[in-house]
């Protein structure tokens, strides 16, 4: 497994791509209101990305039709934007990728619409808190499997479970690179596999289910839901390892 070590000038190019992602996500969060359609949100983000001189990297990637993954309620990841208009109590996840000057950015948030139940707020908070907890725990020399176990334990401590078969990933000159970073420990030994080193850049993205970790892909071949049929949540940041610690690149 060849995991790229980025030079400082490369990290700055990745930061530029990710800053646009962060700005697009902030724009969508600010405009997530009852009555807005998912296609309107997608178009808003695409206009912003192109206005910043970048390309929406998800559009056309593996055949995906839109700039933004808009994952509604039971859809945890990879939702295709539709004409559906947001309603009070919805959970909407936005996942955005960009490319500028040959370098890629990627991040995601889950947002509550209007008045939310305490249960749904806890579900959203689990994904966000898992992400920031994991980032705070990263140290040079830590193994990626240890990081996966950290995320799994945190999700389970909140009474939820991680979605299986989908994962975080490296990022750089391609939108998806090595390593793959599940939100759960694969195998039994977290002290195996590659170590985190200075210069590595990767995406962490906790994907949270309520009861069942098994994913199901819906008829459109994109929307991913849990086998439990319940709502989920998703958060993501791109981080770079600088001076032994993780620095978030995907902030506006």
Over residues 44-69, the pLDDT tens digits come to 999 999 999 999 999 999 999 999 99
Residues 6 or more apart whose CB falls under 8 angstroms from that of 215 comprise: 76, 163, 164, 165, 166, 224, 225, 226, 227
Instruction: Using pLDDT thresholds of 50, 70 and 90, give the confidence band for residue 212.
Output: very high
The predicted model scores a pTM of 0.97
Structural domains for the chain = 8-248 (3.90.230.10)
Distances (CA, A) of 150 to 51, 129, 175, 201: 38, 12, 24, 18
Predicted confidence at residue 1, as pLDDT, reads: 62
Please determine, for residue 106, whether its predicted confidence score (pLDDT) is greater than 90.
yes
């Amino acid at each position: 497994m060849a995991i790229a070590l980025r030079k400082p000038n490369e990290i700055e190019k990745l930061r530029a791509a990710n800053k646009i992602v962060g700005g697009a996500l902030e724009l969508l969060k600010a405009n997530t209101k009852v009555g807005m359609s998912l296609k309107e949100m997608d178009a808003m983000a695409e206009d912003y990305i192109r206005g910043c001189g970048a390309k929406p990297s998800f559009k056309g990637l593996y055949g995906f039709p839109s700039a933004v993954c808009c994952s509604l309620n039971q859809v945890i990841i990879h939702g295709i934007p539709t004409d559906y208009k947001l309603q009070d109590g919805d959970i909407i996840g936005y996942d955005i990728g960009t490319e500028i000057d040959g370098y890629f950015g990627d991040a995601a948030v889950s947002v509550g619409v209007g008045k939310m139940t305490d249960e749904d707020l806890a579900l959203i908070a689990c994904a966000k808190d898992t992400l920031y907890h994991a980032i705070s725990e990263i140290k040079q020399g830590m193994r990626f499997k240890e990081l996966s176990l950290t995320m799994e334990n945190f999700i389970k401590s909140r009474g939820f479970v991680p979605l299986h078969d989908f994962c975080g990933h490296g990022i750089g000159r391609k939108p998806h690179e090595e390593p793959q970073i599940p939100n759960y420990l694969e195998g039994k030994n977290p002290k195996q596999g590659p170590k985190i080193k200075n210069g590595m850049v990767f995406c962490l993205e906790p994907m949270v289910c309520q009861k069942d970790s098994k994913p199901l892909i819906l008829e459109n071949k994109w929307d991913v839901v849990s086998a439990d049929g319940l709502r989920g949540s998703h958060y993501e940041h791109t981080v770079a390892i600088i001076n032994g610690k993780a620095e978030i690149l995907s902030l506006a």
